[in-house]
Amino acid sequence: MLPPPASRHLRALFVDRDGTLNPDLHYLKEAERVELYRGVGDALYLARRHGYAVVCVTNQSGIERGYYTDADVRAIHARINERLREHGARVDAFYYCPHAPESGCACRKPGTLLFERAAHDLGIAFGESAIVGDRPLDIEAGRRLGLLTALVVPPGHEELLAEELAREGTRPDITASRFGLAVARILARG
C-alpha cells in the first residue's frame, strides 16, 4: 500500500526525454554522448520561474532488451541535469519505464502509471499541468490525464507525425517546431 500522497498541489511540466530534450540516439548508453537541443535549458529555466516542477517521463526499453542498465539510465539523467545547470535549470524528477512494448506493462507510455507515481510522490495537480513530447504516445498519455499537451514537430516531420496522430486518434493542444516554442506557448496559457 502506498503512503498518503504529498499534500502540496504543484503544477508540473512533464517532458519526454529522447527526441524532446535531447536528440534520439536510439538506445543511448553513454552519458558523455548526451547533448541537449538548443533552447531546452532556457525553456526549462523559464518554466521553473513560472512555478512548474519539471518531471521527465521516458520509455527506456533498452533496459529489458539488455542494451543498457538502470545505472546507465541514471548516469544519463545526471548528465542531463549537469548540462541544464549551465542554464540555471534542472529536471526535478525522472521516471522511466524499463520494459519493452511487448511486455504490456502499465508504466510504458501511453500508459499513465509513471505520471501517477510522480503526482503521488510530488503532489502534482494534473489539471494545472502540461506535457511536451515528440510522439503521439506522449500526447495520448497527457490526454488521458487531462494535461495540456504540446507536440514538438521538427521541420520535415509534419506529414509523418500527422499520419501517426491520425492513426492513434489523438491530437495535441499545441504544436511547435521547437521545444522552447512549445514551452512558451504553454506558459502563455497561464
Instruction: Retrieve residue 26's grid coordinates.
Output: 536510439
Q: How far apart are CA 44 and CA 54, in angstroms?
A: 7
Q: What is the DSSP letter of 160?
A: H
Report the SS3 class of residue 6.
Answer: coil
Output the CA torsion 97→142→40→59 (10° steps): 10
The helix/strand count (H/E) of the chain reads as: 6, 6
Choosing from 18, 72, 134, 138, which is the catalytic residue?
Answer: 18
Distant-in-sequence, close-in-space partners of 50: CB < 8 Å, separation ≥ 6: 187
Choosing from 16, 72, 134, 138, which is the catalytic residue?
Answer: 16
Is residue 16 part of the annotated active site? The answer reads yes
Catalytic residues: 16, 18
